[in-house]
Structure 1
């Protein structure tokens, strides 16, 4: 049995879904402390100008350590509209954007309170688009070391995620070259129904 533990994140990087596609049982880390500057609250897409960061704003507290599951979204400005506009600018001309648009768009209209609920829903939507249904468990306690599962929690820190994957055709590839390990949306909009097969062929 290939059991893994991994963080839920916002439209995760391709590496997340490579790990999940090869797993028999997936456990989501629910008890960690929130860290800024990680993919817990951000994704990277391929814009007309190259790589673009889309960051989810969260409410800041005075607590030194806040659990990720307690982190609330900032609703003072319409970041969702901005994110969807950025996705449109990046992928409107991709082969599969229109095919998946109706599946993806509602998440940018729904008002979540907690970051973790948003992340879990983005992962659920993408797995349905990929036709990759998977069962997952949730941690109830935090352990720094895990011995009974393959630990992929480091993938949440983009700087430590050094996986390199087989190039596929990207919308602005001729302009800026291949950009590796972007959000799963990049693969989905460019490869569509072939995306799951691609994920299963990659190595972490």
Structure 2
């Protein structure tokens, strides 16, 4: 019997494709033991507004030359970012069909935010997955023994998770050594992010890669229908 695993860095309220990858596997490992990168998806994402795309960014403390791991990255305690994000979501989605129910749910996720970025991301990822009827097990790379170089480390995590199929995003094709996985009896599959259909969306021409909250505000309980693998 096939057991499929994906290993991905945590993102802040990512787009629907991230959750579709999650829905396509049995276990989704948050790979936050790797280096934090600035101007990336770890602590920010985009929403659609009448004026165009807007970044929602969680302010974090970065030490030295960005040598810290994602799981070591602290959220800036002095900033009132959570209130700002709630305000931005409220202003820009108040005309969305499912604004009331979605905003009430989202507001609770912003209450008493954790101190660490990984914990914040996991809070939102777990909550959104449940909202999309995704039952995939969500785990942390820190729960596994980490050893070896880039490909070997991923392969060893997959092996410890009992996988015989490792599902990866296409961006890893440039560095992933599939022979390392094959030596452990694990097949590599490449996830295809193409072919998503537009869904009803506010503010003009459809923009596909915005935060998943856009999908939830506009489609409500039917949001999962706009994923390929989530239970409809």
> What TM bracket, shorter-length normalisation?
0.7 to 0.9
- Of the structure 1 ranges 124-133 and 30-39, higher mean CA displacement relative to structure 2 is found in 124-133
SS for the counterpart of 1:200 is coil
1:201–1:114 Cα change, 3 Å = closer
Residue 64 to residue 6, structure 1, CA distance change in 2 (3 Å): closer
Moved more, 25-34 or 113-122: 25-34
Aligned counterpart in structure 1 of residue 150 of structure 2, from 134, 137, 144: 144
Q: Evaluate the alpha carbon distance shift between residue 26 and residue 162 of structure 1 in structure 2; reply closer, same or farther with a 3 A threshold.
A: closer
Equivalent residue in structure 2 for 1:9, among 8, 11, 15: 11
CA drift of 1:41 comes to: 0.3
Deviation at 1:18, TM superposition (A): 1.4
Aligned equivalent of 1:167: 198
Query: Is the 8 Å Cα contact of residues 14 and 41 (structure 2) preserved in structure 1?
Result: yes
Pairwise CA distance, 1:124: 1.3
| Match 2:216 to one of 181, 185, 188 | 188
TM-score by length of 1: 0.85
Check whether the contact 1:33–1:67 (CA below 8 A) recurs between aligned residues: yes
Instruction: Give the alignment of 1:150-161 within 5 angstroms.
Output: 150-152=167-169, 154=171
- Structure 2 gaps of 5+ residues are 159-165, 173-191
Instruction: Choose the corresponding residue for 2:39, options 31, 37, 40.
Output: 37
Superposed structure 1 runs of 4+ greater than 3 Å apart: 152-155, 161-164
Partner of 2:30: 28
Give the match for residue 119 of structure 2: 117
Distance, in Å, in 1 between the alignment partners of 2:228 and 2:8 is 17
| CA-CA distance at 1:28 after TM superposition | 1.6
Larger radius of gyration: 2
TM-score normalised by length of structure 2: 0.76
More contact order relative to length (CA 8 Å, sep ≥ 6): 1
1:200 aligned onto 2:232: no
8 A contact 1:42–1:55 mirrored in 2? yes
